[in-house]
Amino acid sequence: MSPRRVPVSRRDRPAKPPLSREDAVAVALRVMRAEGLERLTMRRLAAELDTGPASLYVYVRNMAELHGAILDELLAELPWPGAGDGQTGDGQAGLTGLLQAYTGLLFQYPSLARSVLALRPSGPNYLRLIDTLLALLRAGGVPVSQAAWGVDLLLQLATATAAEQGARDESVTADDEHEAVTLALREAPESEYPQVGWARDELFSGTGAQRLSWALAVLTEGIGAVATPAVD
């Protein structure tokens, strides 16, 4: 009884919903979440939107711009202060918390982090992140020039930390025992690399989270302490 195909008005083809840049970015984000950035190709996204790859170029200039748009969409999920959920506080703890959340977000998508590093993002949520970090540094009494340069440094650290996470997620062992650099450092002959011998144990110690929070402490300490040169 029920017909195989429901007849559609207007020329017998189902009306495609009108496409917008927002839709395209939202679908792109969904594909990335589900299968990773590697699988999110222009052709794949076009197929997902039921069109040809050429149509995407009406909404984005190129792949890099698409990555930037995806990042900004992703940043909406940060625990922005003042949102009422109290996930991040004020001062040093607020700064560290927000940057850890940013790193954590990108940590899930290392290739996006790599792309972002070359991108210099400029979406509204990225600006908001810069603004919030500036506010936290300012509240901590950091002079304006050190805060301005410091924000760049802090975001670079966070992005690069996520970007370093290569495609070594698929390894069965949780630790990075199988990384070439780990092996090379462990086996480096003391005669040729005496300092590596000196620091051998400490070179591999700590979890990623411990190293990140130490690095953030190092940066905030230094940003507050070292004056910028006179350039104005």
Partner DNA sequence: ACCTGAACACCGTTCAAGT
Q: Report 40-69 residues binding DNA (CB under 7 A).
A: 41-44, 51-55, 57-58, 62-64
Contact string (CB under 8 A) for a copy of itself, positions 67-106, x = contact = ----------------------------------------
The interface region with a copy of itself, picked from 1-9, 10-18, 89-97, 197-205 by CB under 8 A, is 197-205
191: partner contacted, choices a copy of itself, DNA, none (Cβ within 5-8 A by kind): none
| Among 8, 41, 199, 208, interactor with a copy of itself by CB under 8 A | 199
Q: How far, in Å, are 97, 102, 214 from residue 157 at the CA level? A: 14, 11, 12
| CA dist., res. 10 & res. 130, Å (int) | 49
Shortest distance (Å) from residue 21 CB to a copy of itself: 16
Stretch that binds a copy of itself, among 19-27, 52-60, 95-103, 173-181 (CB under 8 A): 173-181
Q: Give the span between the Cα atoms of 56 and 47, in whole angstroms.
A: 10
Smallest distance, a copy of itself to C-beta of residue 175, A = 14
Shortest distance, position 42 Cβ to DNA, whole Å: 4
- 113 in Cβ contact with 123 (< 8 Å): no
Instruction: For residue 117, give the nearest of 174, 71, 156 by alpha carbon.
Output: 156
Q: Does 27 bind DNA (CB under 7 A)?
A: no
| 119 near DNA (CB under 7 A) | no
CA gap 76, 20 in Å, rounded? 19
Burial of 74 (0-12, 13-18, 19+ CB in 10 A): buried
Cα 165 versus chain centre, distance: 11
